[in-house]
Amino acid sequence: MNLDEYRTVFVAGSLVLMLIAATPTVSLIMVVSSGGGERFSELWLLGPNHLAEDYPFNVSVNELYRVFAGVGNHLGGSSYYLVYAKFRNQTQPLPDVMASEPSSLPTLYEFRFFVADGETWESLLTFAFQNVSLQGNSVFVSNVSINDVTFSVNSYSMWDSENQGFYYQLFFELWLYDITSRSFQYHNRFVGIWLNMTSS
């Protein structure tokens, strides 16, 4: 083998090694450029002025309150979603984020909708409370109305002396339709607002 043949073998070998070394970087660039970034869904709640502020907080019986619930799809394809509205006092369970488990509380209201990839869905939600009474050191809420549909909740909240109020929470869970199981699965996302209930 002469010097030119050694040079050709050396250059060819170097090119092969460079291509092997560059393969992870090239594949990463291809994934990012083809839109294969992180896949996720968003769930949000906006106040009555369609902003992330001025949420209802001090609430009373027979008053109508407004919020906007929204979902953003970044999963790489159209998705079928379900949003459950639930109501709890301070001691009742929220979803368990670590175990990816929804709250065991009953669903009061639901939204079902499709969202294309990169698109969003949003809906106005109105709520009100009926039959609220002060009983000693607790407030009892009999009914919650969501979008003009009334639900029986029969929920007590004890006086919170540290935060000076009777606290409840209206919260929303995000569920996603799973094609394999042909059912909705909890998507490990929830949002909520705290409400200080008065009996007036």
Look over the chain and give the mean of its residue pLDDT values, rounded to a whole number. Answer: 86
pLDDT tens, position by position, 120-167: 999 999 999 999 999 889 999 999 999 999 999 999 999 999 999 999
Whether 67 shows a pLDDT value over 60: the answer reads: yes
Token representation of residue 112:
């079902």
- Look at residue 136 in the predicted model and tell me its pLDDT: 87
Residue type, 5: E
Whether 6 shows a pLDDT value over 50: the answer reads: no
Token representation of residue 153:
């909740």
Q: What is the average pLDDT across 1-8?
A: 54
Name which CATH class applies to 40-197: mainly beta
Give the integer Cα–Cα distance in Å for 171 and 105. Answer: 11
Q: What residue segments make up the domains of the chain, in order of their start?
A: 1-36, 40-197
pLDDT tens, position by position, 39-59: 999 999 999 999 999 999 999
